[in-house]
Amino acid sequence: MTEPHEVAVVPGDGVGREVVPAAQQVLEAVADGRNTLEFEFTDGEAGDAVKERTGTALPQGTRELVTGADATLFGATGETSVEVVIPLRRAIDAYANVRPARAYPGVDALQPETDLVFVRENTEGVYAGHEAELAPGVTTLTRVITAEASERIARFGFEYAAEHDYDVTVAHKANVMRETDGLFLESVERVAGEMGTECETALMDALATRLVRDPAEFGVVICPNLAGDVLSDLAAGLVGGLGLLASANVGPERALFEPVHGSAPDIAGEGIANPTAAILSGAHLLEYLGHEEAGVSVREAVAETLAEGPRTPDLGGEAGTEAVTTAIVERL
Ligand code: NAI
Ligand code: MG
């Protein structure tokens, strides 16, 4: 008997409740076929709906579930996102946000050569939570950059790049934010020196233009928090939409996996959400837990399904979430 992996499942709101069960179904199918892999899934509530009912978007029980689990599969929350996702990432010290953006054969992409991975600093920058209203009509935000967090994300990014055979580009705006991004850049370059590795540095605004025109030029892009959030959504547009982009929030001991997209209230409840992003998040979860081969088999089943169909309407198809999920499970 193998020890089961304890996985917290937090679907959240909107399409999170449709795509997370799809991803869980895929993980269950993968485990069914392998006697070295077993899961124990436990559900937790979070988001707009639970806040409406109980007054809190992130119940203590859910927080404890996530901090106690080996890994978490998260969906999306709606308006309460800042009350849920950011505290959960913080609770497991998930300092690295990994967001691959890859084009797939069969999916209409603006840039079919795209194959890059954003490694985003996930704990500070302008998302550190230091905002204030000084007076009516006057607000401020404090941007936090520390050497420690910058070095930590750099190390993660360079190791990830070496493991997956990517070049590294570092996004920054140190010409304007001289103190904060100056420190970020200096820290990343110091780590590169220590690790004996090369990296290109690029101003993040110019980088945005280059990403659109020639994404194939890039591999791993190490970014400060806000830049990583914006640039990865930009890259989603290059490869065929948010329904495809998975992400991992990795801490020293635990990790939380989630689609990049939100609760998509415009299509929620219709059964047409693309489950790909959530299922690929599940593949990442498998790899994180040491089941590399199982993760790859999910990625292959997803790629085949994207190439041959069925596809959801966001990709020009007519199939629903369930039909796509079933097709992926059948190809496993
Ligand atoms: P969104 O990602 O929910 O939707 C943007 C567009 O992408 C919509 O047209 C939507 O239909 C489409 N889309 C998203 N996921 C899809 C999928 N799986 N299949 C097919 N189409 C998909 O972003 P939006 O509209 O800006 O935000 C909606 C809500 O989600 C807001 O309340 C926001 O706060 C929340 N949000 C939550 C996040 C999280 O929980 N991590 C992240 C981003 C937004
Ligand atoms: Mg975002």
- Report which ligand 1 atom has the smallest distance to the Cα of 277: 18
Active site residue 127: yes
Active site residue 173: yes
- Report which ligand 1 atom has the smallest distance to the Cα of 314: 20
Residues with pLDDT less than 70, the chain: 1
Decide whether any atom of ligand 1 lies within 6 Å of the 78 Cβ: yes
Percent of the chain with pLDDT over 70: 100
pLDDT at 314: 94
What Cα–Cα distance (Å) separates residue 207 from each residue in 126, 190, 215, 242?
A: 19, 21, 10, 20
One-letter amino acid of 130 = H
Please report which ligand is nearest the Cα atom of 234: 2
Mean pLDDT of the chain: 96
Decide whether any atom of ligand 1 lies within 6 Å of the 20 Cβ: no
Are 71 and 256 in contact, with CB atoms under 8 Å apart?
yes
- Report which ligand 1 atom has the smallest distance to the Cα of 48: 32
pLDDT at 33: 85
Please report which ligand is nearest the Cα atom of 86: 1
pLDDT at 2: 75
pLDDT at 221: 98
What's the rounded Cα separation, in Å, for the pair 257 and 216?
A: 25
What Cα–Cα distance (Å) separates residue 275 from each residue in 16, 118, 245?
A: 9, 21, 10
What's the rounded Cα separation, in Å, for the pair 332 and 294?
A: 9
Expressed in angstroms and rounded, the spacing between residue 261 Cα and the centre of ligand 2 is 7
Strands across the sheet with 96-102, in order? 39-43, 5-12, 71-76, 255-259, 246-250, 96-102, 115-121, 220-223, 168-172, 200-203
Nearest protein CA to atom 36 of ligand 1, as residue = 262
Six-digit token string for 234: 């930009």
Active site residue 205: yes
pLDDT at 129: 85
Expressed in angstroms and rounded, the spacing between residue 38 Cα and the centre of ligand 2 is 32
Decide whether any atom of ligand 1 lies within 6 Å of the 314 Cβ: yes
Decide whether any atom of ligand 1 lies within 6 Å of the 280 Cβ: no
Active site residue 181: no
Expressed in angstroms and rounded, the spacing between residue 262 Cα and the centre of ligand 1 is 3
pLDDT at 1: 57
Expressed in angstroms and rounded, the spacing between residue 130 Cα and the centre of ligand 1 is 25
210-220 residue pLDDT tens: 999 999 999 99
Expressed in angstroms and rounded, the spacing between residue 31 Cα and the centre of ligand 2 is 31
What's the rounded Cα separation, in Å, for the pair 17 and 75?
A: 7
Cβ < 5 A residues, ion ligand 2: 229
Which residue among 261, 276, 306, 321 is best mutated to probe the pocket of ligand 1, counting the most ligand atoms within 8 A of its Cβ?
261
Nearest Cα to 104, choosing from 114, 119, 95, 96? 114
What's the rounded Cα separation, in Å, for the pair 282 and 258?
A: 8
Nearest protein CA to atom 27 of ligand 1, as residue = 262
pLDDT at 3: 85
259-303 residue pLDDT tens: 999 999 999 999 999 999 999 999 999 999 999 999 999 999 999
Decide whether any atom of ligand 1 lies within 6 Å of the 261 Cβ: yes
What's the rounded Cα separation, in Å, for the pair 202 and 170?
A: 6
Decide whether any atom of ligand 1 lies within 6 Å of the 77 Cβ: yes
